[in-house]
């Protein structure tokens, strides 16, 4: 009964397929690298616009009513999302 619980050894074909699959999945990450770099670079204009609008919000918040300030905060939130 103890022999039934022993793991079975894999054949050379199974090991070869498993190795090929592991290498393919691990190597596939390099296909996504240009996309990640593009997303990273596209964040710079968003950051610029966010901080530009944030400075405008700070300047106008002292002289504006609460509804306009809330609207501007929601616009900033929309920019972030």
What's the pTM value of the predicted model, to 2 decimals? 0.58
Of the pLDDT bands very low, low, confident and very high (cuts 50, 70, 90), residue 71 is: very high
pLDDT in tens, 31-55: 889 999 999 999 999 999 999 999 9
Residue linked to tokens 């691990």: 26
Question: Is the pLDDT assigned to residue 2 strictly greater than 70?
Answer: no
Q: Are the C-beta atoms of residues 10 and 18 closer than 8 Å to each other?
A: yes
Average pLDDT, rounded, for the chain: 88
The tokens for 24 are 């393919």
């Amino acid at each position: 009964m103890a022999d039934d619980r022993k793991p079975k050894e894999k054949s050379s074909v199974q090991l070869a397929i498993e190795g090929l699959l592991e290498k393919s999945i691990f190597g596939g990450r390099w296909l996504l690298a240009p996309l990640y770099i593009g997303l990273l670079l596209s964040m710079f204009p968003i950051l610029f616009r966010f901080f530009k609008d944030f400075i405008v919000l700070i300047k106008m918040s002292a002289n504006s009513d609460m509804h306009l300030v809330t609207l501007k905060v929601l616009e900033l939130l929309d920019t972030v999302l």
